[in-house]
Structure 1
Amino acid sequence: MIVLDESDAHGPAEQIRAQIAALIRAGELAAESRLPPVRQLAGDLRVAPGTVAKAYKELEAAGMVRAGRAAGTRVNPGQVIAAPALTEAVAFGRAARDAGLSLAEAQSLLAAGWNA
Protein backbone atom coordinates (compact mmCIF):
# COMPACT_ATOMS: atom_id res chain seq x y z
CA MET A 1 0.00 0.00 0.00
CA ILE A 2 1.33 3.39 -0.97
CA VAL A 3 1.02 6.24 1.51
CA LEU A 4 1.99 9.81 0.70
CA ASP A 5 3.49 12.02 3.38
CA GLU A 6 2.91 15.73 2.81
CA SER A 7 5.76 16.58 5.19
CA ASP A 8 8.24 14.48 3.18
CA ALA A 9 10.84 16.57 1.37
CA HIS A 10 10.37 14.33 -1.67
CA GLY A 11 7.44 15.09 -3.91
CA PRO A 12 4.53 12.72 -4.48
CA ALA A 13 5.96 11.24 -7.69
CA GLU A 14 9.23 10.34 -5.96
CA GLN A 15 7.39 8.88 -2.97
CA ILE A 16 5.25 6.74 -5.28
CA ARG A 17 8.31 5.61 -7.27
CA ALA A 18 10.31 4.79 -4.15
CA GLN A 19 7.51 2.87 -2.48
CA ILE A 20 6.70 0.81 -5.56
CA ALA A 21 10.41 0.10 -6.07
CA ALA A 22 10.66 -1.05 -2.44
CA LEU A 23 7.62 -3.33 -2.86
CA ILE A 24 9.18 -4.84 -5.98
CA ARG A 25 12.60 -5.33 -4.40
CA ALA A 26 11.04 -6.91 -1.32
CA GLY A 27 9.14 -9.37 -3.50
CA GLU A 28 5.76 -8.02 -2.38
CA LEU A 29 5.06 -7.21 -6.02
CA ALA A 30 6.05 -10.36 -7.87
CA ALA A 31 7.38 -10.58 -11.40
CA GLU A 32 4.61 -10.03 -13.95
CA SER A 33 2.35 -8.39 -11.34
CA ARG A 34 0.27 -5.64 -12.85
CA LEU A 35 0.46 -2.19 -11.29
CA PRO A 36 -2.79 -0.28 -10.90
CA PRO A 37 -3.74 1.84 -13.91
CA VAL A 38 -2.43 5.40 -13.67
CA ARG A 39 -5.86 6.97 -13.27
CA GLN A 40 -6.93 4.47 -10.63
CA LEU A 41 -3.82 4.98 -8.48
CA ALA A 42 -4.01 8.74 -8.96
CA GLY A 43 -7.61 8.70 -7.73
CA ASP A 44 -6.76 6.47 -4.78
CA LEU A 45 -3.88 8.75 -3.75
CA ARG A 46 -5.68 11.98 -4.69
CA VAL A 47 -2.91 13.19 -6.99
CA ALA A 48 -2.86 14.19 -10.63
CA PRO A 49 -2.53 11.33 -13.13
CA GLY A 50 0.65 12.96 -14.42
CA THR A 51 2.23 12.45 -11.01
CA VAL A 52 1.65 8.68 -11.14
CA ALA A 53 2.65 8.57 -14.81
CA LYS A 54 5.96 10.24 -13.93
CA ALA A 55 6.64 7.65 -11.21
CA TYR A 56 5.81 4.80 -13.60
CA LYS A 57 8.07 6.25 -16.30
CA GLU A 58 10.96 6.47 -13.84
CA LEU A 59 10.40 2.86 -12.79
CA GLU A 60 10.34 1.86 -16.45
CA ALA A 61 13.55 3.78 -17.15
CA ALA A 62 15.18 1.92 -14.25
CA GLY A 63 14.11 -1.39 -15.80
CA MET A 64 11.87 -2.35 -12.90
CA VAL A 65 8.63 -2.35 -14.89
CA ARG A 66 7.49 -2.38 -18.49
CA ALA A 67 4.48 -0.60 -19.92
CA GLY A 68 2.11 -1.97 -22.50
CA ARG A 69 -1.23 -0.65 -23.65
CA ALA A 70 -3.31 -3.81 -23.33
CA ALA A 71 -1.21 -5.53 -20.67
CA GLY A 72 -0.78 -2.44 -18.50
CA THR A 73 2.34 -1.75 -16.48
CA ARG A 74 3.92 -4.97 -15.20
CA VAL A 75 6.84 -5.80 -12.92
CA ASN A 76 9.91 -7.11 -14.75
CA PRO A 77 11.42 -10.38 -13.51
CA GLY A 78 14.63 -10.40 -11.49
CA GLN A 79 14.03 -7.30 -9.40
CA VAL A 80 13.93 -8.86 -5.92
CA ILE A 81 16.96 -7.97 -3.80
CA ALA A 82 18.99 -10.57 -1.99
CA ALA A 83 17.32 -11.90 1.15
CA PRO A 84 20.19 -10.96 3.51
CA ALA A 85 20.10 -7.33 2.40
CA LEU A 86 16.33 -7.22 2.78
CA THR A 87 16.54 -8.77 6.25
CA GLU A 88 19.08 -6.17 7.33
CA ALA A 89 17.03 -3.35 5.80
CA VAL A 90 13.92 -4.47 7.70
CA ALA A 91 15.91 -4.68 10.94
CA PHE A 92 17.35 -1.21 10.37
CA GLY A 93 13.92 0.21 9.61
CA ARG A 94 12.46 -1.24 12.80
CA ALA A 95 15.38 -0.04 14.90
CA ALA A 96 15.16 3.46 13.46
CA ARG A 97 11.40 3.60 14.01
CA ASP A 98 11.79 2.25 17.57
CA ALA A 99 14.40 4.95 18.22
CA GLY A 100 11.87 7.59 17.21
CA LEU A 101 13.64 8.60 14.02
CA SER A 102 11.72 10.02 11.10
CA LEU A 103 12.05 8.40 7.70
CA ALA A 104 14.25 11.31 6.58
CA GLU A 105 16.53 10.86 9.59
CA ALA A 106 16.79 7.12 8.97
CA GLN A 107 17.60 7.76 5.31
CA SER A 108 20.33 10.19 6.37
CA LEU A 109 21.83 7.55 8.64
CA LEU A 110 21.73 5.00 5.86
CA ALA A 111 23.42 7.46 3.49
CA ALA A 112 26.15 8.07 6.07
CA GLY A 113 26.68 4.31 6.41
CA TRP A 114 26.70 3.89 2.65
CA ASN A 115 29.39 6.55 2.27
CA ALA A 116 31.51 5.35 5.20
Structure 2
Amino acid sequence: MKIDHHGETPPYEQVRVHYAQSIANRELPVGAKLPTVRALAKDLGLAVNTVARAYRELEEAGLVETRGRAGTVVSANGDSNRERVRSAAHAYASMAAELGLSREEALEIVRAAFRA
Protein backbone atom coordinates (compact mmCIF):
# COMPACT_ATOMS: atom_id res chain seq x y z
CA MET A 1 0.00 0.00 0.00
CA LYS A 2 1.26 3.44 -0.89
CA ILE A 3 -0.03 6.64 0.62
CA ASP A 4 -0.25 9.79 -1.48
CA HIS A 5 0.67 12.41 1.10
CA HIS A 6 0.00 15.24 -1.36
CA GLY A 7 -3.30 14.03 -2.82
CA GLU A 8 -6.76 15.29 -2.02
CA THR A 9 -7.82 12.10 -0.25
CA PRO A 10 -6.83 12.11 3.43
CA PRO A 11 -4.34 9.39 4.43
CA TYR A 12 -6.78 7.70 6.84
CA GLU A 13 -9.28 7.39 3.98
CA GLN A 14 -6.62 5.88 1.71
CA VAL A 15 -5.89 3.24 4.36
CA ARG A 16 -9.59 2.58 4.94
CA VAL A 17 -10.34 2.23 1.24
CA HIS A 18 -7.34 -0.05 0.69
CA TYR A 19 -8.47 -2.48 3.38
CA ALA A 20 -12.17 -2.22 2.50
CA GLN A 21 -11.37 -3.12 -1.11
CA SER A 22 -9.04 -5.93 -0.09
CA ILE A 23 -11.78 -7.38 2.11
CA ALA A 24 -14.46 -6.91 -0.56
CA ASN A 25 -12.26 -8.60 -3.18
CA ARG A 26 -11.56 -11.39 -0.69
CA GLU A 27 -7.83 -10.74 -0.92
CA LEU A 28 -8.09 -10.65 2.87
CA PRO A 29 -10.23 -13.59 4.01
CA VAL A 30 -12.31 -13.74 7.16
CA GLY A 31 -10.00 -14.05 10.15
CA ALA A 32 -6.98 -12.49 8.42
CA LYS A 33 -5.02 -10.37 10.85
CA LEU A 34 -4.26 -6.75 10.00
CA PRO A 35 -0.97 -5.17 11.06
CA THR A 36 -0.99 -3.41 14.40
CA VAL A 37 -1.88 0.25 14.28
CA ARG A 38 1.63 1.22 15.37
CA ALA A 39 3.36 -1.07 12.88
CA LEU A 40 1.26 0.11 9.94
CA ALA A 41 1.69 3.76 10.93
CA LYS A 42 5.45 3.30 11.03
CA ASP A 43 5.52 1.42 7.69
CA LEU A 44 3.44 4.10 5.94
CA GLY A 45 5.01 7.11 7.64
CA LEU A 46 1.71 8.13 9.23
CA ALA A 47 0.64 9.20 12.68
CA VAL A 48 -0.73 6.42 14.87
CA ASN A 49 -4.04 8.30 15.22
CA THR A 50 -4.41 8.38 11.42
CA VAL A 51 -4.25 4.60 11.15
CA ALA A 52 -6.39 4.19 14.27
CA ARG A 53 -9.10 6.29 12.64
CA ALA A 54 -9.05 4.11 9.51
CA TYR A 55 -9.29 0.95 11.62
CA ARG A 56 -12.10 2.46 13.71
CA GLU A 57 -14.10 3.26 10.57
CA LEU A 58 -13.51 -0.24 9.22
CA GLU A 59 -14.77 -1.63 12.51
CA GLU A 60 -17.84 0.64 12.48
CA ALA A 61 -18.61 -0.67 9.00
CA GLY A 62 -18.42 -4.23 10.33
CA LEU A 63 -15.48 -5.18 8.13
CA VAL A 64 -13.00 -5.83 10.94
CA GLU A 65 -13.09 -6.68 14.64
CA THR A 66 -10.61 -5.58 17.26
CA ARG A 67 -9.92 -8.40 19.69
CA GLY A 68 -7.82 -6.65 22.30
CA ARG A 69 -4.37 -8.17 22.48
CA ALA A 70 -5.22 -10.56 19.65
CA GLY A 71 -5.29 -7.58 17.28
CA THR A 72 -7.58 -6.55 14.46
CA VAL A 73 -8.95 -9.22 12.15
CA VAL A 74 -11.27 -9.37 9.15
CA SER A 75 -14.78 -9.92 10.44
CA ALA A 76 -17.23 -12.55 9.24
CA ASN A 77 -19.76 -9.69 9.23
CA GLY A 78 -18.11 -8.39 6.05
CA ASP A 79 -19.93 -11.07 4.05
CA SER A 80 -23.28 -10.27 5.66
CA ASN A 81 -22.64 -6.55 5.13
CA ARG A 82 -22.00 -7.22 1.45
CA GLU A 83 -25.30 -9.10 1.23
CA ARG A 84 -27.11 -6.22 2.96
CA VAL A 85 -25.67 -3.78 0.42
CA ARG A 86 -26.63 -6.06 -2.49
CA SER A 87 -30.16 -6.28 -1.12
CA ALA A 88 -30.37 -2.51 -0.69
CA ALA A 89 -29.02 -1.99 -4.22
CA HIS A 90 -31.62 -4.35 -5.64
CA ALA A 91 -34.40 -2.54 -3.77
CA TYR A 92 -33.07 0.82 -4.98
CA ALA A 93 -32.89 -0.36 -8.60
CA SER A 94 -36.45 -1.66 -8.38
CA MET A 95 -37.71 1.59 -6.89
CA ALA A 96 -35.89 3.68 -9.48
CA ALA A 97 -37.44 1.62 -12.29
CA GLU A 98 -40.92 1.89 -10.74
CA LEU A 99 -40.52 5.68 -10.55
CA GLY A 100 -39.46 5.85 -14.19
CA LEU A 101 -35.85 6.90 -13.66
CA SER A 102 -33.38 5.88 -16.31
CA ARG A 103 -30.46 3.71 -15.30
CA GLU A 104 -28.11 6.67 -15.75
CA GLU A 105 -30.27 8.95 -13.59
CA ALA A 106 -30.41 6.35 -10.84
CA LEU A 107 -26.65 5.83 -10.99
CA GLU A 108 -26.02 9.57 -10.88
CA ILE A 109 -28.06 9.80 -7.68
CA VAL A 110 -25.85 7.10 -6.16
CA ARG A 111 -22.68 8.87 -7.33
CA ALA A 112 -23.93 12.12 -5.78
CA ALA A 113 -24.60 10.28 -2.50
CA PHE A 114 -21.01 9.00 -2.45
CA ARG A 115 -19.69 12.51 -3.10
CA ALA A 116 -21.74 13.96 -0.23
Per the TM superposition, whether the score is higher than 0.5 is: yes
Q: Give the length in aligned residue pairs.
A: 88
Higher alpha-carbon Rg: 2
Q: Which runs of 5+ in 1 are unaligned?
A: 83-110
Q: TM-score, normalised by structure 1?
A: 0.67
Q: CA deviation at 1:9?
A: 1.3
Q: Residue in 2 aligned with 1:28? A: 27
Q: Residue in 2 aligned with 1:13? A: 12
Aligned partners of 2:64 and 2:78 also within 8 Å: no
Q: Residue in 2 aligned with 1:58? A: 57
Q: CA deviation at 1:57?
A: 0.2
Distance in 2 (alpha carbons) for counterparts of 1:47 and 1:115 = 29
Q: CA RMSD in A?
A: 2.3
Distance in 2 (alpha carbons) for counterparts of 1:48 and 1:37 = 13
Q: Residue in 2 aligned with 1:3? A: 2
Q: Residue in 2 aligned with 1:76? A: 75
Structure scoring higher RCO (CA < 8 A, sep ≥ 6) equals 1
Q: Which runs of 4+ in 1 moved over 6 A?
A: none
Q: CA deviation at 1:70?
A: 1.9
Shift in CA distance, 113/55, structure 1 to aligned 2, threshold 3 Å: same
Shift in CA distance, 113/4, structure 1 to aligned 2, threshold 3 Å: farther
Q: Which runs of 5+ in 2 are unaligned?
A: 84-106
